[in-house]
Chain A
């Protein structure tokens, strides 16, 4: 009997926000500065430094969540994702685990005149890592003579958008990615440039016998830097995977798909999954630096996102997006109230000054 397989695709998207300051400190979050100039004790992970969440970033993730029809958590929480990597200053990433800011949304896409509803599992807030530049050995960490680190990007607000496995073809995946980019651009919260990495797509693909609900062994396609490469890489994996009957896991011995498929930044830890509770050795817990202190009842903790205020100057028109995100017009307050509000202890980073009244970084 011939079993016919169908692909099941889910996409994780990372979007760097273009806030003025970084996620947990007052350093500029912008690109283009000389290496290690937009840094301070917090984003360098110096001993004693503590994170303070960026209010603006939380407002913007709420805007993204609303545009994707998500539920917004009334209280949210940050966790630490623990793993050692030289470009990660604290050797843990502040991320979210069981209480993301946004959950349970959807995005409708169109391919070949057919509409598909892609459910959004969650949209959560985290921080970016620094950049490692490997010198010598063709730029790969294994063969490099030495490596250079630039922490300007460390701590830049990063929004992760995770879909349910609702996509069935590489074409749909591409359409989803393009639509999501359009929304983010419409909100004006990110440059969303694939080639610069300010928007990055990872896809999970597996095959299953047509008509069944089971999920097969999944393969990860990471850090695609163009829509075309996302579509091509998925088509390649589906083809390769299909020939192995949908049971084949990714193995290091598999022929590489050019440079598109490899996450060169993470060669040394390739194959290790950082999803939170999954693998032994991967730990996550509430970041106690970001919880409310004693005597501060949650009802009085900082209110954020009364309604998202996004930089309309930068935003592009896109039908329905602004309305859904509660931006502009008289209906916005109602929209946000219906969706609920998110409370995290965050604050306007313009208040962040050091003991001598200077703004961070103290330069």
Chain B
């Protein structure tokens, strides 16, 4: 590797502990990389040079004293800009929060800081995490490091692009319908959505409360497991936080897949999936069988309704969650003659078209007289999806599918047709509806040289088996922290 910025988190942490590099050097390499790539990528909305330098210096001093506070000690980390950071502007990608500086840290951010992580800055996203390409950001899109004419996926496109490009060693994203896994797939990195409740949502600006979950975006499965270990844990400030045991996730890596039962979801392995993606995923499935797993096809009939149910439930929840942005207490305010007029003008000016569309959809779906036929029906489908999963997991340890039906598409190619954009999430949404964990692992490139992601799903709290299979997929694919051409060795970085 030509730069410290291209190390994996595990390599960087080992070098730090061995005294071979300092946190300041790691940070400098990362900031240099950002300097080199940001003009093309726009992965970051805010880079906190001052704060990051202070944190790196503090990490180095602690290392000198022989104190290492955790596995992320001294590691440069990026945070999706829908997690609040005390004293650091947080916009959720929306103009309605332009200039908003929160007075508190999200619990996941606090956990990172406690672990000694160096927070570089806040990454770009689709406004309020609503989108699949990061083109809905109120601050302009992010580009894909593998082809800057293409989208990085979304909504955590900034975090995925930063980790892929080397302007962060690991990052946090949030996943409501695939917003961690899909951009990870499109950018050739690992992205994981943990079980609902495993990572506190306190300080995550809510999109759809019953679906949102924070998770890691990293270069390797091990790095994702390391990051998850730091941010997972019970939080008394989140009433939906899981109260049971939190295992050491890295312990499950490297144990192979011999004896595991792996189900290939039939509904997510045919129509609508690009041939290159299907071929790559089939080859992974074959290698899992060769490694000793029992692989069979399994049918989950409710999958075809999951997308429709999601696009009722998520907008319905967002319509209530986004009501608080009214110009009264913080963020943008456009004056009016009355409070009502001020609120209406503020919201009209502050929200972008996709957010407005979803608020309207959700408000309609929840309104009296329509509640049962829309939201009520969608909740029934959600129950069916959960039942389908429960039934499938009686015979299988994990389920697999492509992460995204297609590789990175061209910027602007789907923005005119919201429905075609919604279809991008077809493979990832079921895990959110079920509150279950799921991970995307890069497994190869398509004919155009764009990364392909492979998705593994497990039952709720099945993180260990999920990561175990993910590590085998990673090993078998030979991906090995492959770098995008933008920052390849030939660039002389």
Footprint of B on A, CB under 8 Å? 41, 44-53, 80, 82, 84, 86, 89-92, 141, 147, 149, 268, 277-283, 285, 287-296, 345-347, 351-356, 362
Q: Report the separation of the CA atoms of residues A283 and B106 in the bound assembly, to the nearest whole angstrom.
A: 29
- Give a binary string over B109-120; 1 marks a CB under 8 Å from any A CB, 0 the rest: 111011000000
Task: Determine whether the beta carbon of A279 is less than 8 Å from that of B368.
Answer: yes
- Chain B residues with CB under 8 Å of A92's CB are 320, 323
Task: Determine whether the beta carbon of B104 is less than 8 Å from that of A41.
Answer: yes
Task: Determine whether the beta carbon of B461 is less than 8 Å from that of A47.
Answer: no
Task: Determine whether the beta carbon of A52 is less than 8 Å from that of B317.
Answer: no
8 Å CB contact of B326 from A44, A84, A278 = A84
A303 to chain B minimum Cβ distance, whole angstroms, is 13
Task: Determine whether the beta carbon of A82 is less than 8 Å from that of B317.
Answer: no
Q: Report the separation of the CA atoms of residues A90 and B205 in the bound assembly, to the nearest whole angstrom.
A: 13
8 Å CB contact of A84 from B102, B204, B206, B340 = B340
Name which residue of chain A comes closest to B436, CB basis: A294
- Please tell me if B197 contacts chain A, counting CB pairs below 8 Å: yes
- Chain B residues with CB under 8 Å of A296's CB are 197, 242-244
- Chain B residues with CB under 8 Å of A295's CB are 195, 197, 242, 244, 460-461
8 Å CB contact of B329 from A45, A53, A287 = A45
16 A–B pairs (Cβ distance < 8 Å), ordered by A: A47-B84, A47-B90, A50-B202, A82-B366, A91-B326, A279-B368, A280-B368, A288-B317, A289-B206, A292-B240, A293-B196, A293-B242, A295-B460, A295-B461, A351-B236, A352-B237
- Chain A residues with CB under 8 Å of B209's CB are 287-289
- Please tell me if B360 contacts chain A, counting CB pairs below 8 Å: no
- Chain A residues with CB under 8 Å of B107's CB are 355
- Please tell me if B423 contacts chain A, counting CB pairs below 8 Å: no
Task: Determine whether the beta carbon of B110 is less than 8 Å from that of A294.
Answer: no
Task: Determine whether the beta carbon of A86 is less than 8 Å from that of B366.
Answer: no
Interface members, chain B 286-328 (any A CB < 8 Å): 316-317, 319-320, 323-326, 328
- Chain A residues with CB under 8 Å of B242's CB are 293-296
Q: Given A44-B329, A47-B324, A294 and B363 touching (CB < 8 A)?
A: no
- Chain A residues with CB under 8 Å of B237's CB are 50, 52, 352, 354
- Please tell me if B64 contacts chain A, counting CB pairs below 8 Å: no
8 Å CB contact of B236 from A91, A290, A352 = A352
- Chain B residues with CB under 8 Å of A89's CB are 324, 329
Q: Given A86-B328, A279-B368, A283-B363, A356 and B92 touching (CB < 8 A)?
A: no
Q: Report the separation of the CA atoms of residues A80 and B340 in the bound assembly, to the nearest whole angstrom.
A: 20
Task: Determine whether the beta carbon of A52 is less than 8 Å from that of B239.
Answer: yes
Task: Determine whether the beta carbon of A90 is less than 8 Å from that of B323.
Answer: yes
- Chain A residues with CB under 8 Å of B109's CB are 355
- Give a binary string over B203-224; 1 marks a CB under 8 Å from any A CB, 0 the rest: 1111011100000000000000
- Chain A residues with CB under 8 Å of B102's CB are 41, 46-48
- Give a binary string over B347-387; 1 marks a CB under 8 Å from any A CB, 0 the rest: 00000000000000001001111010001000000000000
Task: Determine whether the beta carbon of A294 is less than 8 Å from that of B84.
Answer: no
Q: Given A82-B323, A291-B210, A294-B197, A48 and B202 touching (CB < 8 A)?
A: yes
B132 to chain A minimum Cβ distance, whole angstroms, is 22
Q: What are the 10 tightest A-B residue pairs by CB atom distance, in nearest-first order? A: A355-B110, A293-B197, A91-B323, A288-B210, A288-B209, A294-B435, A294-B460, A283-B366, A48-B203, A293-B240
Q: Report the separation of the CA atoms of residues A268 and B337 in the bound assembly, to the nearest whole angstrom.
A: 14
- Chain B residues with CB under 8 Å of A282's CB are 368
Task: Determine whether the beta carbon of B238 is less than 8 Å from that of A285.
Answer: no
Task: Determine whether the beta carbon of B366 is less than 8 Å from that of A289.
Answer: no
- Chain A residues with CB under 8 Å of B113's CB are 355
Task: Determine whether the beta carbon of B368 is less than 8 Å from that of A277.
Answer: yes
- Give a binary string over B92-131; 1 marks a CB under 8 Å from any A CB, 0 the rest: 1000010010111111011101100000000000000000
Name which residue of chain B comes closest to A277, CB basis: B368
- Please tell me if B8 contacts chain A, counting CB pairs below 8 Å: no
- Chain A residues with CB under 8 Å of B435's CB are 293-294
Q: Report the separation of the CA atoms of residues A170 and B368 in the bound assembly, to the nearest whole angstrom.
A: 34
Q: Given A47-B92, A285-B320, A86 and B239 touching (CB < 8 A)?
A: no
Q: Report the separation of the CA atoms of residues A277 and B366 in the bound assembly, to the nearest whole angstrom.
A: 10
Task: Determine whether the beta carbon of A281 is less than 8 Å from that of B461.
Answer: no
Q: Report the separation of the CA atoms of residues A84 and B104 in the bound assembly, to the nearest whole angstrom.
A: 25
B323 to chain A minimum Cβ distance, whole angstroms, is 4
- Chain B residues with CB under 8 Å of A51's CB are 239
Q: Report the separation of the CA atoms of residues A41 and B460 in the bound assembly, to the nearest whole angstrom.
A: 30
Name which residue of chain B comes closest to A269, CB basis: B340
Task: Determine whether the beta carbon of A82 is less than 8 Å from that of B320.
Answer: yes
Q: Report the separation of the CA atoms of residues A290 and B363 in the bound assembly, to the nearest whole angstrom.
A: 21
Q: Report the separation of the CA atoms of residues A277 and B105 in the bound assembly, to the nearest whole angstrom.
A: 37
B297 to chain A minimum Cβ distance, whole angstroms, is 26
- Please tell me if B193 contacts chain A, counting CB pairs below 8 Å: no
- Please tell me if B54 contacts chain A, counting CB pairs below 8 Å: no
A40 to chain B minimum Cβ distance, whole angstroms, is 8
